[in-house]
Amino acid sequence: MRILIVGDLHSNYQALEAVVKDAAGSYDQVVCLGDVVGYGGDPNRVTEWVRANSQVTIRGNHDRACTGDTVIEWFTGPAQFAAEWTNAALTPENRLFLEQLPAGPLAANGFYLMHGSPRDEDEYILGRAEAAYLYPYLPGDICFFGHTHIQGGFGLRRGVAWALAAPKHGENETVHQLEPDTMYLLNPGSVGQPRDMDPRAAYGLYDSEAKVFVLRRTPYDIKRAQKRILEASLPLFLAERLAHGR
């Protein structure tokens, strides 16, 4: 089975469209790591795509904040503003879908999905030390996570963690053959709001038979996504950051 892994789409339909086009023919199934909405200007179009195409979806903190959860109190001003706007803009069907998403970690086809970390859906896994510390909490060998908006991930063996290389500027992908007797925390990156200084949309492809994980980047129409944010009267900062990937 070849699986397209998307996360942190953040209402950016232009980025999602580019990912789907770039990945066409390379996957049989889709899974989603949460943060379908929040920040961007197209919450309904992105939610409708996830509803129609993702076989397994878990919730992110923004999906909760945009459907009335008190987690919104912890958000920055622009994120709060966008969450309130999103809540009002969502159709009742889309809001209900997001409201009912399960929390991770969730088992799916021999791997696990989580938004933040295996012990807390709101926790950020940013470095090797955090990954090594979380080793006892991992529910299985292959865990996909998001939340940081930083593409990459970690391999873990006998208490030692190492980082997986993401595509550099000028590269479209990095290919990782997963090893036996090793645990993995794998982050496909953010489709709709990358924060790793690369503005291209990020996603992952996993081949469960060959045990190969590919990290990919694709350019998209950033100007159009920015226009959608401004048309919704969302904070300018949310549009500007897309151009910088941070």
Q: Footprint of Fe ion on this chain (CB under 5 A)?
A: 8, 35
What are the start-end ranges of the H helices in 70-159?
77-89, 92-99, 128-133
Nearer to Fe ion, 61 or 155 (CB): 61
CB of 7 to Fe ion, least distance (A): 8
Q: Which one-letter amino acid corresponds to residue 75?
A: F
Q: How far is CA 11 from CA 108, 127, 224, in A?
A: 24, 27, 13
Nearer to Fe ion, 8 or 121 (CB): 8
Nearer to Fe ion, 8 or 178 (CB): 8
CB of 1 to Fe ion, least distance (A): 26
**Nearest residue to Fe ion, using CB?**
35
CB of 190 to Fe ion, least distance (A): 6
Q: Which two tokens stand for residue 192?
A: 């709709």
d(CA 128, CA 146): 15
Nearer to Fe ion, 38 or 155 (CB): 38
CB of 235 to Fe ion, least distance (A): 16
CB of 60 to Fe ion, least distance (A): 6
Residue 169's DSSP bridge partners are none
Residue whose C-alpha is closest to residue 28's, from 58, 53, 48: 53
What are the start-end ranges of the H helices in the chain?
13-23, 43-53, 61-65, 77-89, 92-99, 128-133, 222-231, 236-244
Nearer to Fe ion, 35 or 196 (CB): 35
Helix, strand and coil content of the chain, in percent to the nearest 5, comes to 35, 20, 45
Nearer to Fe ion, 3 or 66 (CB): 66
Residue whose C-alpha is closest to residue 242's, from 188, 198, 189: 198
CB of 179 to Fe ion, least distance (A): 29
